[in-house]
Chains A and B, each alone.
Chain A
Amino acid sequence: EVQLVQSGAEVKKPGESLKISCKGSGYSFTSYWIGWVRQMPGKGLEWMGIIYPGDSDTRYSPSFQGQVTISADKSISTAYLQWSSLKASDTAMYYCARPITMVQGVLYDAFDIWGQGTMVTVSS
């Protein structure tokens, strides 16, 4: 079964660092892009960025460039989303997702496999 399994919920204080994970299984992890999506409480979906684990090519939405870091460790089929200094406004559910199509390079595709989400709460 193809699936993405995300790490568990986190409660952090402002200024702390955090790295959450998304582990792929049941498919060739290095051959599909992995995207990250934010959903703030009671709000809609926001596209954050994407990584190709095969060569770590990473692209960010302008709104998230410099705010987060996306990475991947292909040896353990895991993608990451990390913050160096959390803010209260980072409180949200974060989803990883995989596109339908296996492609390296330019991607024009929807996302059919989603992780279960990781809830990040930042509060003093």
Chain B
Amino acid sequence: EIVMTQSPATLSVSPGERATLSCRASQSVSSNLAWYQQKPGQAPRLLIYGASTRATGIPARFSGSGSGTEFTLTISSLQSEDFAVYYCQQYNNWPPKYTFGQGTKLEIK
């Protein structure tokens, strides 16, 4: 099983500043990596797929990068609505075992 490890577990950032979240895979997942945002009481929301492609309707302040085993989600200028938990997910195997990272909680500093 591919293990996804996110860091840090919690990130404290002030509104307007940049946030950088990391995700590492235990083996290469090529570019088959997605990022999701989840707010309390809500379903996950797809932000990024293919490691760097923004999903429909996602603001340009969200960007993804990386390939292979190292990935980054960057939020360029944090808005109040961006404080949430973020998960990475790999979808590089078949039969599918699309494992998630344990999540990074982005909180207001």
- Listed in ascending order, the chain A residues whose CB lies under 8 Å from chain B are 35, 37, 44-47, 50, 59, 61-62, 95, 97, 100, 106-112, 114-117
Give A88 to B99 CA distance when docked, in angstroms: 23
User: Which residues of the partner chain B approach A110 to less than 8 Å between Cβ atoms?
Assistant: 34, 46, 49-50, 55, 89, 91
Give A114 to B89 CA distance when docked, in angstroms: 15
B59 CB, nearest partner CB in chain A, Å = 16
Instruction: Determine if B43 and A117 form an interchain contact, defined as CB atoms under 8 angstroms apart.
Output: yes
Interface of B is mostly: loop
Instruction: Determine if A108 and B43 form an interchain contact, defined as CB atoms under 8 angstroms apart.
Output: no
26 contacts between A and B (CB under 8 A): A35-B96, A35-B98, A44-B100, A45-B89, A45-B100, A46-B100, A47-B89, A50-B96, A95-B43, A95-B44, A97-B44, A100-B49, A100-B55, A107-B91, A107-B94, A107-B96, A108-B32, A108-B91, A109-B49, A110-B34, A110-B49, A110-B89, A111-B34, A112-B46, A114-B44, A115-B43
User: Which residues of the partner chain A approach B92 to less than 8 Å between Cβ atoms?
Assistant: 108
Give A117 to B36 CA distance when docked, in angstroms: 15
Q: Is B101 on the interface with A (CB-CB < 8 A)? A: yes
Give A105 to B101 CA distance when docked, in angstroms: 25
Give A116 to B45 CA distance when docked, in angstroms: 11
Chain B 69-85 interface 0/1 with A at a Cβ cutoff of 8 Å (1 = within): 00000000000000000
User: Which residues of the partner chain B approach A100 to less than 8 Å between Cβ atoms?
Assistant: 46, 49, 55
